Amino acid sequence: MNKENKNAEISARIAEILQYTGDTRNGFAVKLGYERAQTVYDVMNMKSAPSYDFFRRFSTSEYSDTIDLKWLLSGEGSMLRDDHQIQSESLQSTVQQELSGEAAAYYRLYEKKRC
């Protein structure tokens, strides 16, 4: 696989993160500690490859609590870290048990669209 394909895949995974978190590119850049969002725009538009600094910032950001860095780098495994995946599944189970009827159906529809 060539560099361009790898960059495209990482860009797609970043887009998945933004969709999951509801953040904008600018918000993502700020949370990574960039003063300007240009770096994130360049990575997502494949004008430049993500650097060591990009991944270092990601690994020390709040995203690393939820998003698996190995997945971001390689696409292997789940986007969510194992411990967060378990918490998320537990929360979904609890919510679904507490909801009944129409509310539960709306919640399931919401979760289906979110994933």
What are the tens digits of pLDDT across the range 6-39? 888 999 999 999 999 999 999 999 999 998 899 9
Q: What is residue 92's predicted lDDT score, i.e. its pLDDT? A: 53
| Tens of pLDDT, residues 58-92 | 999 999 999 999 999 889 889 998 765 444 554 45
| Residue 30 CB contacts under 8 Å (≥ 6 apart), including other chains | 37
pLDDT at position 81: 85
Distance in angstroms (rounded) separating the CA atoms of residues 42 and 46: 6
Q: Is the pLDDT of residue 99 over 70?
A: no
